[in-house]
Amino acid sequence: MTSQVLLIEDEPNIIEAISFILSRDGWQVRSHSGGQDAMDVVRARKPDLIILDVMLPGRSGFDLLADIRADPQIAATPVLMLTARGQRKDREMAERAGASLFMTKPFSNAEMLEAVRSLAPRT
């Protein structure tokens, strides 16, 4: 069975790049681009890893992360937060909200693979 990654990101170029990088490495990648109904998708898919953008239409990634951590069924799921703003306050907010890892855009292919491999078990 292939490990599943749920990518919650609204930028098509980022979705395409991450999907390509991870799929080529053997991950099954599904994407979702809206914040408003993202929790329904997370609960339905039960991914091995969530890659979550901070700035989403309809709802912030920080709000979604708080909901993920508050739900006992999915609270332990590793979450890699992505943001175009790499300021220290963003990192601190992500840590307080329970992010497993925090990465700024742009990122290299190697950085993304290393982060995903460190967070999600290969099955």
In order along its 123 residues, the chain shows pLDDT tens digits of 579 999 999 999 999 999 999 999 999 999 999 999 999 999 999 999 999 999 999 999 999 999 999 999 999 999 999 988 767 888 888 888 899 999 998 999 999 999 999 998 665
Evaluate the CA torsion angle 114, 115, 119, 121 in order and state its sign.
negative
Please give the Cα distance from 86 to 80 (Å, whole number).
Answer: 14
Evaluate the CA torsion angle 62, 45, 116, 28 in order and state its sign.
negative
**Domains, the chain, ordered by start:** 4-119 (3.40.50.2300)
Q: What angle do CA 51, 56, 62 make, to 5 degrees?
A: 65
Q: What angle do CA 28, 22, 71 make, to 5 degrees?
A: 60
DSSP, collapsed to helix, strand or coil, labels residue 62 as helix
